[in-house]
Structure 1
């Protein structure tokens, strides 16, 4: 028994951490490569995610850019989301290339800035879409006015300006290249920088949650009014309301499931933590950019029509004749 106890004691956490770091590499996610390792499998996963993200969102950007009928505020925000996710995917691919082919501090900072700016723009675009959906329901009669278009452009300028500023921070000197003790789990971002981004995300998530609760109430009220006007059965009203609530739950639940693990982990961890844990929370966050086009773009009837015209030159009757209901939020 003493020998077994000694064996357990000899397996100390610091040695376990060292073994994990050696297996996965001493690489902190996004931008820190160990030239001794040929290819880190986690980097392959991130690069693959980036490739899928880029291809998928490039389709959405091209559809909105070439179709002049898709210039309403809603489509501008969807295009902003797709563009942000497209840049995020390209950032992951470029990071993979720079990590193994061009190892320099300048390349690390530029790539990190692109990834931070694009993912920040993606999250901010999701918040802007939520605000737009709330306004389209709350101010239904005046939503299509020139004021809404102006407000949408203001939101786009603010969100992209803020995101670009966040991406420039590492290049402007807010990094841990000179002091490794200040590094976060995403090297060379500082612990304070990542903490600020995480807190900002939690605040935006709270705002989105509140807005979606209000949207849910409005949808239920509108559905009930329509049911009374058309003398629908109670079961029909229940099914439509449940569909709307389920849609909102999927949207918000997907967003939280993808980003929340990485956000919470980045608040408590630092560069001394095993990188495998950071990868395990970072990879699901990138999946949000893969899911976004499915939720916000490909479910939209107008984008579906444009996509059908590009693919086969025709629009199926099931798509062209579908009527938008209050549950389609």
Structure 2
């Protein structure tokens, strides 16, 4: 009897993936005899490619521009680098899952993805802390102590992310016992639970910091408006815009990551794989949106981008280049 080999999704336990490939043929179209490709994996690979290209632009701009060495730009560069590696990990996982199938490659690529997304979320928290400190200590913020503190934050978050990414390779995986697998193979249920709880704690801290930032911004705007009554309307509009920007940042982050975080906390490997893909895909969108929110809206980065691309700066951009950045 001839057996036709199937290529299963690399996120799922092996036996379960084969059973699902047979029972859910509507989700896995056949490209040629014996070859199965999950369309969800194709979408994730496409997202990874877009993430890589978009964030590579940000990394190159910051690395190429000596003027972008302030703490804020170092943190934005860290975020872009983390998202870039996450995109590379998603693309590499697809390639290895369908072209070079081995347990070692799964451990490496999933470890890279976990480490990259952990560094991405950590960088978002670091940016939030930096924005809070820049407002709370406005007079003494631009000092050598701030630069040192920024480097310490970067070393800690990347060190923690690398350690988390190495855990599957060092034996913290479910390859020996498929029943302990989480919704993301080869992470165990305990691994996923710890990561989910850590994310929720970081989100709670970011929420608290953004609330404090809103209070500081509104208090400063109110004080200025009392001193200059004729500017009250202008400051009201500026403050409302700043608070709206913070709400968009936090809302986007929660909308992208919260579904997968909550799902991985309550689900295990027995749940239908479509739920895993449906919650994981929005999480990757956060890495697509991050450059737009944190990098491309920044006027200094816009200026550097124009210099790199065509060696010119639009007049309206050059006039605003030294204006304060968005909250």
Return the TM-score normalized by structure 1.
0.89
Q: Which of 223, 229, 232 in structure 2 is aligned with 1:231? A: 229
In structure 1, the residue matched to 2:312 is 314
Q: CA deviation at 1:233?
A: 4.1
In structure 1, the residue matched to 2:201 is 203
In structure 2, the residue matched to 1:324 is 323
- Which structure has more relative contact order (CA 8 Å, sep 6+)? It is 1
1:187-198 pair list within 5 angstroms: 187-198=185-196
Tell me the SS of whatever aligns to 1:272. Answer: coil
1:204-223 pair list within 5 angstroms: 204-223=202-221
Q: CA deviation at 1:238?
A: 2.1
CA distance in 2, matches of 1:196, 1:160: 18
Q: CA deviation at 1:257?
A: 0.3
1:4-43 pair list within 5 angstroms: 21-24=24-27, 37-43=35-41
Matched-pair contact (CA < 8 Å) for 2:221–2:236: no
In structure 2, the residue matched to 1:126 is 124
In structure 1, the residue matched to 2:290 is 292
CA distance in 1, matches of 2:153, 2:278: 33
Paired positions, count: 304
In structure 2, the residue matched to 1:6 is none
Q: CA RMSD in A?
A: 1.8
In structure 1, the residue matched to 2:278 is 280
Q: Would the alpha carbon gap of residues 18 and 308 (structure 1) be closer, same or farther in structure 2, given more than 3 Å must change?
A: closer
Q: CA deviation at 1:109?
A: 0.2
> Greater CA deviation, 153-162 or 231-240?
231-240
CA distance in 1, matches of 2:27, 2:102: 21
In structure 2, the residue matched to 1:169 is 167
Q: CA deviation at 1:37?
A: 4.5
Indicate yes or no: 2:148 matched with 1:135.
no
Tell me the SS of whatever aligns to 1:232. Answer: helix
Q: CA deviation at 1:21?
A: 4.6
Q: Would the alpha carbon gap of residues 325 and 305 (structure 1) be closer, same or farther in structure 2, given more than 3 Å must change?
A: closer
CA distance in 2, matches of 1:69, 1:324: 15
> What are the superposed Cα offsets for residues 268-327 of structure 1, whole Å, 9 maximum, x if unpaired?
11000000011000000000000000000011111010011122221112212226358x
Q: CA deviation at 1:18?
A: 8.7
CA distance in 2, matches of 1:270, 1:47: 23
Q: CA deviation at 1:22?
A: 4.8
Tell me the SS of whatever aligns to 2:229. Answer: coil
Matched-pair contact (CA < 8 Å) for 1:134–1:214: yes
